[in-house]
Structure 1
């Protein structure tokens, strides 16, 4: 017997009915956020593909490698004058990187912070002005 039944407390069914609209709204918002995140990842990966194409034009060392901890996620490795940078890309978008060869040198242990510090300090601007891409 429920000691609170009839004591002015809602039943479990009444609570479920009260919460249902809130839960449905939360689920819809979550789905919307997940779709937006997926779109942002796709846009990021398009930019990485462009970076890879530009890196090849500049004759920088670049290629696809593997992460032993996440073998289902290929890794784009790029050697900048400031050091190695890399990005995991989903297998579903690997066709956007089909022009890349293999990268055999392995990950140098850089952190995300180090990666973007290297990107911002790559000193590639002079090369970009004089790089014939053919």
Structure 2
């Protein structure tokens, strides 16, 4: 593992963003959904920048956490692309309805398993 100040973490972050977008984009059916998923990695990065500025920490030090969260999101839909596409089609056809009324979301279980594992490992590495 590279040191947590290594510039290789920027490459890891870029690969994580690409993996997240590549995994999620095929499941999106409308233009609005595709734009939302494409811009989704920006929000956690802005939070990371704010956190780093607030606590006077290096952004590079916390890039493993950023990348881990995005990779967990990408891995949560692996094997569930058809179900994701079905759900997103239902969402675009039924705007405003609660998600509970739509088709099931089997990738949520996968996310609840991958996110804590990846996030915990990244936090342990950073600290």
Same fold (TM over 0.5): no
Point out the structure with max Rg over C-alpha. 1
Q: Which has the higher contact order (CA 8 A, sep 6+)?
A: 2
TM-score (norm 2): 0.27
Please state which structure has a larger fraction of its residues in helix: 2
Please state which structure has a larger fraction of its residues in strand: 1
